Copies of this chain bind each other. A is one copy, B any other.
């Protein structure tokens, strides 16, 4: 299915894709609520002063200004570029009225003035879950939170996911132990490993002032990927030692072990994950979709020491799913679809205009039992009404009986037509409402 981009960077979907997104969101939110996360919807604008903290993101901000007339007397505003900044502001403003640990999900659009390219959009939907404590947050949430997201995604007909974990203490502890002065520069080089390979990364590390042996150790660390706690031994085998490194190794082993119990086969330690290590303060997460690795991480996050940045600490852990990017890919190659492109299950045929009220009553009787129904818009010939249903993927046409004759219902796929009563008829399993479907063929 085509992704509509009449304005570059601002994707939209055709009606079937709209239903896909609606069903995906409903499913995700249902699972989040089962785990005690409540909905949060914040305003879409924030004062620019809150949004701009320097760095790359500053260049991507969209400001919101009055087109004509006087400027608002309020602070200068911009569109939020993620859901963390408005969440932090909401927690900060309402902390006295929120229950901690506070668990919320949030599924709004965000805006970034990026150069549009494959899988990068200027307006896109994120699906975030976070749990944030006041003063402290037990570390068991670092495994529970990704398990919730994984459970939610596992309930969708998606390719399997592989979550990669790293830890900031581990990485920085390692760099400290081998005397790398500028860990941020080293991390930026290592971040290119997947796309450019070790030779390019080594050159960059050397250019950044690392010695040949330091560069080799960094590449050695970044190459370590294990599905279990054996990464600890592999780091030890590099011959690097340090207290901070030890603390990071222990914490990552704990989180990974716990996550293995919660979501077997999901996660692995990948000490080459560098993205987010400048922002998060503990565990970091990245998630690849098997077969779509080139798309990059579809779901990232981590543990942070302080959401708000004030005198009172609000430590948390969060994950953000890039839903628009994911859907654009899966709708684009038809690997995610709905069982039909319309909510309607039954089209009630209209014999003639005088019977519209009877036909409405029939449709209403079906709706009262949760069966989406519509009455044909005009009393055209039945053949044309059937074509009307077929053209929009409505599976059943209902023919009202006349002069005491029973109503009949026709399954347009099989062609079977049977007598039916609107008070008791049941559509075939899976036909009642539109659902997500596995791809055809």
Find out whether the CB atom of A93 lies under 8 angstroms from the CB atom of B6.
yes
Find out whether the CB atom of A44 lies under 8 angstroms from the CB atom of B360.
no
Interface residues of A in 80-124 (CB under 8 A from B): 89-90, 93-94, 97-99, 101, 104, 109, 111, 113, 122-123
A53 within 8 A of B: no
Annotate A308-350 by CB proximity to B: 1 below 8 A, 0 otherwise.
Answer: 0000000000000000000000000000000001111000000
Find out whether the CB atom of A52 lies under 8 angstroms from the CB atom of B33.
no
**Nearest Cβ distance between residue A353 and chain B, in whole angstroms?**
8
Find out whether the CB atom of B40 lies under 8 angstroms from the CB atom of A357.
no
A424 within 8 A of B: no
CB-nearest residue of chain B to A11: B43
CB-nearest residue of chain B to A342: B38
A402 within 8 A of B: no
Find out whether the CB atom of A18 lies under 8 angstroms from the CB atom of B36.
no
The stretch among A172-180, A207-215, A368-376, A407-415 that forms the contact with chain B is: A368-376
A433 within 8 A of B: yes
> Which residues of B sit under 8 angstroms from A43, Cβ to Cβ?
7, 10-12, 123
**Neighbour of A343 across the interface among B38, B65, B98, B144, CB < 8 A:** B38
CA distance in complex: A371, B59 (Å): 45
A8 within 8 A of B: yes
> Which residues of B sit under 8 angstroms from A42, Cβ to Cβ?
12
A4 within 8 A of B: yes
**Neighbour of A62 across the interface among B37, B65, B344, CB < 8 A:** B65
CA distance in complex: A62, B43 (Å): 15
Chain A residues with CB under 8 Å of chain B are: 4, 6-15, 18-19, 21-22, 26, 29, 33-45, 47-48, 52, 58-59, 61-69, 72, 74-75, 77-79, 89-90, 93-94, 97-99, 101, 104, 109, 111, 113, 122-123, 133, 138, 140-141, 144, 261-262, 341-344, 356-357, 360, 367, 370-374, 377-378, 391-392, 433-434
Beyond contacts A19-B38, A22-B39, A44-B109: 17 other A-B pairs, Cβ-Cβ < 8 A, are: A6-B89, A6-B93, A7-B45, A7-B74, A10-B45, A12-B42, A14-B97, A18-B40, A19-B39, A21-B39, A22-B29, A34-B370, A44-B44, A45-B123, A62-B65, A63-B67, A69-B113
